[in-house]
Structure 1
Amino acid sequence: MNERTRKKPRPPLDAASLEELALFYVGRYATTRAKLRSYLGRKIRERGWQGEREPEIGALAEKCAELGYIDDAAFASARAVSLGRRGYGARRIDQALFAAGIDEADGAEARALAEDNGWDAALAFARKRRIGPFAAEPPDPDRKRKVMAAMLRAGHSYEIARKFIDSEPGNVPERED
């Protein structure tokens, strides 16, 4: 390794540089408190810590939320709408919210939104994958089984998936509320 390719080691973090990192992260990315805590923890593991006392990652994440830089409920709603438009059902959206660290209270509205838009999400999924009414020809039993598995993995209920898979090409099933 020569002189040009060797990187100078970054100095360990202190309270001020940790706050700078947090502000940079929330300014650049739509995030949650849990994701910010995870990011800051990773940065401390990578660079080390030189502060007098333990880093207050949780308090820093809460401070960013209080200042309005982070809004877990808004993040959850935006994620639910985005995933629903892409064709994912309520179960898959719930999994994504759990992975993002959204708690039950902040994610309640997003979960309700996902349930309400389940039919539209299934329609988008079927259109994108050319399933059921959007297929060129009726599927054989093996293809039906694979399509059913794909719709269930995408988070749709068995009933909705069955309606789309059993519909003939060109015949979109009626929405039942």
Structure 2
Amino acid sequence: MSYARRATSPPKPLDAEALERLALRYVERYATTRARLRQYLARKLRERGWEGAEPPPVDSLAERMAELRYVDDRAFAESKAAAMGRRGLGARRVGEALRHAGVQEADREAVAADSAEDAVESALRFAKRRRIGPFSASAADPDLLRRQVAAFVRAGHAPSIAWTIARLAPGADPSVLIEDGGRNKPSPSDWEL
């Protein structure tokens, strides 16, 4: 039995209406930013081409979606930061994810201030998930301790918070760190074992 290949014609080039339909469909399905919407529309234009005589209205379409509140960079940033914080990721990692998503600097800074307040809680969630410090079964040897702190730093946490949590004895009460707000951090000279 042979299968005949269907001849597929190239997709029809986009016009203003089709571009708007694509934008609406995208913001309907995904929480996004203006920058990501622009990237999506630009990709679709590369794939299908443009039919109009004037340039495609990608920027004005993204701005109009923002005016209609279909796209809200600040709400996206807050939601993304909260989700990453619940996973135990640190402020630096959150900031990079928001920058990569195209969130404007003013919105990133506002969300970063909120993330900084929850830095210790987020680090403790990371420690619990990875069984580090007070959540581990046994005390860590110096090499394991360094690797654990490196994992904290890769997750976006400050080294001072990482060393403080990683050095806590197994079974220790980490609530003191939350109440302290991370103010009792070791100095950089304490980072060495």
Q: TM-score w.r.t. structure 1 length?
A: 0.95
Moved over 6 A (4+): none
User: What is the CA distance between 1:104 and its match in structure 2?
Assistant: 1.6
Equivalent residues, number: 176
User: What is the CA distance between 1:50 and its match in structure 2?
Assistant: 1.1
How far, CA to CA, are the matches of 1:98 and 1:164 in structure 2?
28
Partner of 2:114: 113
How far, CA to CA, are the matches of 1:26 and 1:114 in structure 2?
26
How far, CA to CA, are the matches of 2:19 and 2:4 in structure 1?
31
Matches within 5 A, 1:126-137: 126-137=127-138
Partner of 1:28: 29
How far, CA to CA, are the matches of 1:15 and 1:125 in structure 2?
47
1:150 partnered with 2:121: no
User: What is the CA distance between 1:62 and its match in structure 2?
Assistant: 0.2
Unaligned runs of 5+ in 2: 182-193
How far, CA to CA, are the matches of 2:148 and 2:103 in structure 1?
30
The answer to whether the 8 A contact 1:19-1:60 is kept is yes
User: What is the CA distance between 1:84 and its match in structure 2?
Assistant: 0.3
Q: TM-score w.r.t. structure 2 length?
A: 0.87
Deviations 1:64-95 (A, max 9, x none): 00011011001000111100000001100100
Match of 2:75, SS?
helix
User: What is the CA distance between 1:46 and its match in structure 2?
Assistant: 0.9
User: What is the CA distance between 1:8 and its match in structure 2?
Assistant: 3.7
Tell me the amino acid that sits aligned with residue 29 of structure 1. Answer: Y
